[in-house]
Amino acid sequence: MAIFAYRGINAAGKKVSGVKDAENAKALRVVLRKDGVLVTEVLEESQARKKSAREIDLKKLLRRITTLDVAVATRQLATLLKSGIPLVEGLTALIEQLEQPDLKLALTQIRDRVNEGTSLNEALKAHPKIFNPLYVNMVAAGESSGTLDSVLQRLAEFLEAQSKLSNKVFGALAYPMFMVVFGMGVISVMMVAVVPKVTAIFENFQQALPWYTRLLIFTSHVFTGYWWLLILSVTSGVIGFRRWLATADGRRRWDLFVLQVPVFGKLTLMVAVSRFARTLSTLLKSGVPLLSALEITRNVLGNTELMRVIEEARVSIREGESIAAPLKRSKRFPPIVTHMIAIGERSGQLEEMLENVASAYDSQVDAQIGVMTALLEPMMIILVGGMSGGIAFAILIPLMQINEFVQ
């Protein structure tokens, strides 16, 4: 069977599209006609990918596969397997009800490979952008232990928790970023459209202007006369920063700086600790060996300094040390975390203790985000309002002086 991407019109007259497998394009048209779909275009999967690579599809950019999409699909597959449905049939049922086209296509390819005798974890490896090493390794552990349904359930819970955490952090930063962009837009309009007109009035009067008004006029001249240089400077700065960040030394220095920034550094560490504890706990519960679990966990932290600490811990554990000792020596992980991990190791309940650490730090992240949002919102309002007020003040004071001079 081949996989086809199709477009058509349904019985209600609405445009529809999707992915479906069939013997050939003609057989696909027959099947879809029975479903009430009049096919307008059929492309084999490889041709469809080439066409989408040539076309800029804004809708495709907006419908990218999210962590929550994968979590929902994983939970549904776990439910099907727990009900006693075989894996291939479960994947078929899952594909039929999915609405995300890219995920549907990937799962169709995975199902076909599984149907040919490939293990699920090997089939997942062909789609690393959707299923990361953590996902693949947990599925491999579930297949080898015969507990795939339980592992998928655990994976779904983990992905949902990660998605929830990411959304909280993004939500906390969205409003301040919007205020910064909006404020810069308002100030730019004032500099380009308002200040030059007022400056023309000042030029008609041979009167000394205050320093802040002269500074405002100079800034306005820069905005209007050298806007291209400002854009070039900002673009060059961004490109230069990204290139520096791409180097090993640049990334290390930046990640160290992020951890030391007031408020944001503490939040970054909390998120990393929560991710570390939950990921390691989930992997260990699924039967992944400790050293492999630490290697996978290291790669999901997203901070090179913390990744270095985990790698050093792996080396120490390989030499016979406990997990808690090297983490404590690094002084990057809070003492309460290393203490709880040490207790978990001694009591044989490391997975449960890590889960407790993750839950505790999720709560602290919530509290920290609340504090940060409460501080940032008024700060952004004061900043934007202060800059706008400063511009108005620099314009109005000379105008009032000119009015007194005329009278």
Supply the pLDDT for residue 97: 85
Whether residue 197 sits in one domain with residue 328: yes
**Residue 371 covered by a domain:** yes
Supply the pLDDT for residue 53: 47
Supply the pLDDT for residue 46: 56
Of the candidates 315, 349, 344, the one whose C-alpha atom is nearest the C-alpha of residue 330 is: 315
**Residue 147 covered by a domain:** no
Query: How far from 217 is each of 192, 193, 234, 239, 260, CA to CA, in Å?
Result: 11, 12, 21, 30, 38
Supply the pLDDT for residue 76: 92
User: For the chain, which residues score pLDDT lower than 50?
Assistant: 53-58, 61
Distance CA 200, CA 236 (A): 33
Distance CA 334, CA 167 (A): 24
Model confidence, pTM? 0.65
Whether residue 335 sits in one domain with residue 295: yes
Q: Which residues span the domain enclosing 221? A: 154-407
CA gyration radius, the chain: 29
Supply the pLDDT for residue 60: 53
Supply the pLDDT for residue 205: 63
**Residue 369 covered by a domain:** yes
Whether residue 162 sits in one domain with residue 113: no
Per-residue DSSP letters for 273-297? Answer: HHHHHHHHHHHHHTT--HHHHHHHH
Of 62, 94, 112, at which residue does a domain stop? 62
Whether residue 407 sits in one domain with residue 343: yes
* pLDDT one-digit tens code per residue, 270-291: 888 888 888 888 888 888 888 8
